[in-house]
Structures are given as C-alpha cells and as structure tokens.
Amino acid sequence: MSVQSAEPHCPMAYVPLPTPSITEIVRGSKKIHDWFQQTEWQTAAVEMKSALTDPGLCEFLQWRYRKHKLLEFGGRIYPTFVIPAPKIQIADPESVLGSLDASEETTWQTQKWDDLLWKAGERFRRLQEKVGVYLYDSPVYSLKEFKQEPDGRIRLSCQIGSYYGFLNTGNILGIELLTRFAEERPKPSDFEKFDRRLPLRRRADALGSIYRPEGRCCALGISTVLLYPDGKEQHTLAWERSYRVAVDPGLRGVVPAGNFASVFDDHDVEFSVRHNFYREFAEEIFGKPERQTGGHQMDSRNQDLDPDIRYLESLESQGQARLYLTGVAFSLLSLSLEICTVMEITTPDWKKQYGPGGLVSGLSPFKSNLEFLSTEELRSQGKSTRTKHEFSQVLSSPGEIVPSSAAALSLAAAWAK
C-alpha cells in the first residue's frame, strides 16, 4: 500500500476560504435540489459515479487536503486516506473505541447539529424520499474526537448521532462535491474558483476539523473484508449496491459493511465492533431483517441465537476464524470515518457449508437484502451475478467501488503481508 504525494498535483498552496454566508449556503443547497429535480435519481447516481472515475476529483481533493495523503492502491487513487492499526491493536478490534458520550439529556432524537447544514441536507433528503430512496432514521455512533497515542494506538471518542443527522450534515457534503464536479470538471488552475462553489463543505470546515468534527454527524461505519479459502485462492464477498440507497448507490462494496449503530439504545452491548460486525453479517449476507433473526425477535442480547452467527462463532472458538482490526479510513467525500476489519476464516469447511449442496441443517443460503442489486437487476444491466471474488482481483476502478471498501481492501492486503 502506498500513497500519492500531494506536491505534483498542487497548482498553488491551499488557502482556506472565508466562512460562507447564509446566502451562499442557501443558493448552494438550492442548486443541488434543482439539479436532482431535473434528473432521475438513477441517472444522477450514474453522473456522480462518473465524477468518481475522473482523476481530477482526487487531484482536487489532494490539493484541498494536502496534509493528508490520499490512498493509492493497485495503481489507482481513492478519495480517502487511511491510518493502519499498529500491531499492538490488530488482534483487539474493541481497543479502537474510546469513551462514549451517551448522556440521557442528549439522545439521538434530540441531538442538535448545525442548523444551516441540517436544513440544506434535509431539503435534499426529502427529495430522495419522494423518488423512492430507501430511508429510515436510527441511532448511530458518531465521532467526537480522533486521537492517536504515542505508541500509535488509535482511539475514537464517540457520541450518539442519527442516520438522518449523517445524511443531512455529512453525506450532503459528498453530494455537493460530486454533483458540482460532474457538472464543471475543473482543471487544476480552477481549483480555488471551484472550491468557492462548495459552500456546505466550507461551512463544515469553519465548524471543526476532520479529526474533531463540530456541528455535523460524523457517523462511524465498519467495513469488513471476509476472507475464506477456496482451493488455492483466498476469496471475499463484494456486492453491487442498489440505486435505491442514499449512500454510494450503484457502487460495489465489501460485505458485511454498515453503520456502527445502536439499534436498541443498548450501549453496554451495542457499543462494540464485534457486535456490529455480527449484526451486519446476518443482515447483509443472509438477508435477515435487523430486528429479527433465526425466527426470534432479535434484540441486542439475543442476536447470537441466529444459527449462522452461532456457526461462525463456533469457528472462532475453535481457532478457525478471527476478527482483526486493520485500521481506519477517513472519507474526503462525506468527511466520515470507517473502522476497517478483516474476518479471516481458515477452514475450507466454510465454503463447504455455504457452497452448492453443502448446507447443513439450520444454516441459511446467501441472500442479499434491499441494499444490493438483485440477481435479476444485475442481469438486466449486463453485470456479473457473482457474489464471491478472488481477493487479489476484487478491486476495480475508483468509480466502481465504495471508497471505504477500497480502504478496507487495501488495509487487508497490507495486513495479509
């Protein structure tokens, strides 16, 4: 894994622009809203996807965030930067979590974010809702402060946020950037002028830093590269995201991956990397609803009743599977943070149990949920219906893969060495 130097791409040193006025923010919000009103959602998603494939986007981001070296992996550059976990943390994923501010006075429904960002994002979110994007609000864990200790250990201090809080104050920053970039395709000599046309991003800059966000919900996510042997090769799972999702529509992502969330406000159990991995594992790989698995109404204390979770836990107890922390990644699109992990399965029994004709009693077949394109949708778009991929071949172009998934795969590749 290497990183791209900022210097060759910088036409001039980046100088932060003044805080945008309320008028600028309102106009910027209206422009996003009008652009999407004139464009079908799937067409708009394809346009944003095309912006991701343009090398100029990462060139702009490297100019703007020159203190952070963008990820370069497999000869490609991605709109994210990674911080690998030190060796002392790799075997202990929970060690990445610091304190949690979960006071009774500030719940996920009452948490307040910057009013200007919120209104701009809420206007766009309601437009997404009208065109049938799959949306629902729920509590999530949000970054309060990122710290790295002298020995390299990563510590994430967290607070309670909400999914709509992230959409309205975080994801909207990426929407603003991608729609503007798709429309203007600025050259390096025009970067400063282009930056002036990003009032929501400039507002976020004025409120806080990447490492200590203020006024916005910096929702945490967890992306896991699930590695298992298939013959002589290591395989992993990566699926195409639906165009009906609000975040990263139409891109390929590793599974399981999802919000670091508190579904039941049970922080004693849910403020856990492992717990969230297993919830997403059941939901995304086997298509089980969040609140019900294995025929039981699932809450935070009984999700291990699910037979597929129990099977993987049994492999862990036998030393044939283990969850590792590989690092964290900051998205320079939504200014959010992803915890990156690897679930390494070493026994060939995994493929036998879930391969054709290999199911044992009680285990489920792979079945994607609404977040991913169905087999029929993939075929209609002329895409491969494969659900598993050789680990060495899974990376595609920046416009085809979720940036946090690219980060998780790059960190997994470094870990595997």
8 A C-beta contact, residue 93 and residue 24: no
> pLDDT tier at 377 (50, 70, 90 boundaries)?
confident
Longest dimension (CA), the chain: 63
> pLDDT tier at 1 (50, 70, 90 boundaries)?
very low
Structure confidence by residue, pLDDT tens digits, 242-289:
888 999 988 889 999 999 998 888 898 899 999 999 999 999 988 887
Considering the chain, what percentage of its residues have pLDDT values greater than 90? 53
- What pLDDT score does 293 carry? 40
Question: 304 pLDDT exceeds 60?
Answer: yes
Structure confidence by residue, pLDDT tens digits, 83-123:
999 999 999 999 999 999 987 666 777 788 999 999 999 99
DSSP assignment of 84-118 = EPPHHHHT-GGGGEEEEE--TTS-TTT----HHHH
> pLDDT tier at 363 (50, 70, 90 boundaries)?
confident
- Average of pLDDT values for 378-397? 72
φ, ψ (nearest 5 deg) of residue 98: -100, -135
Could you tell me the residue ranges of all domains in the chain? 2-207, 222-416
Instruction: Give the helix/strand (H/E) hosting 3.
Output: strand 2-3
Q: How far is CA 9 from CA 42, 55, 328, in A?
A: 32, 11, 25
Structure confidence by residue, pLDDT tens digits, 159-202:
999 999 999 999 999 999 999 999 999 999 999 999 999 999 99
Question: 408 pLDDT exceeds 50?
Answer: yes
Instruction: Kindly report which listed range (133-142, 213-222, 317-326, 384-393) carries the lowest average pLDDT score.
Output: 384-393
Instruction: Give the helix/strand (H/E) hosting 142.
Output: strand 139-148
Render the burial of 370-387: b for 16+ CB within 10 Å, e for the rest. Answer: ebbbeeeebeeeeeeeeb
- What pLDDT score does 104 carry? 65
Residue whose C-alpha is closest to residue 233's, from 408, 351, 367 = 351
| Residue 138 to residue 130: CA distance in whole angstroms | 19
- What pLDDT score does 365 carry? 81
| Residue 353 to residue 346: CA distance in whole angstroms | 14
| Residue 386 to residue 17: CA distance in whole angstroms | 46
8 A C-beta contact, residue 255 and residue 226: yes
* More reliable by pLDDT, 292 or 88: 88
> pLDDT tier at 297 (50, 70, 90 boundaries)?
very low
10 Å CB burial of residue 8 (0-12, 13-18, 19+) is exposed
Residue whose C-alpha is closest to residue 239's, from 286, 301, 289 = 286
- What pLDDT score does 222 carry? 98
8 A C-beta contact, residue 387 and residue 252: no
- What pLDDT score does 192 carry? 94
> pLDDT tier at 387 (50, 70, 90 boundaries)?
low
222-416 folds as: Nucleoside Triphosphate Pyrophosphohydrolase (3.90.79)
- What pLDDT score does 73 carry? 85
- What pLDDT score does 228 carry? 92
- What pLDDT score does 327 carry? 98
Residue whose C-alpha is closest to residue 277's, from 212, 211, 243, 321 = 321
φ, ψ (nearest 5 deg) of residue 140: -135, 165
Structure confidence by residue, pLDDT tens digits, 64-83:
999 999 999 878 899 999 99
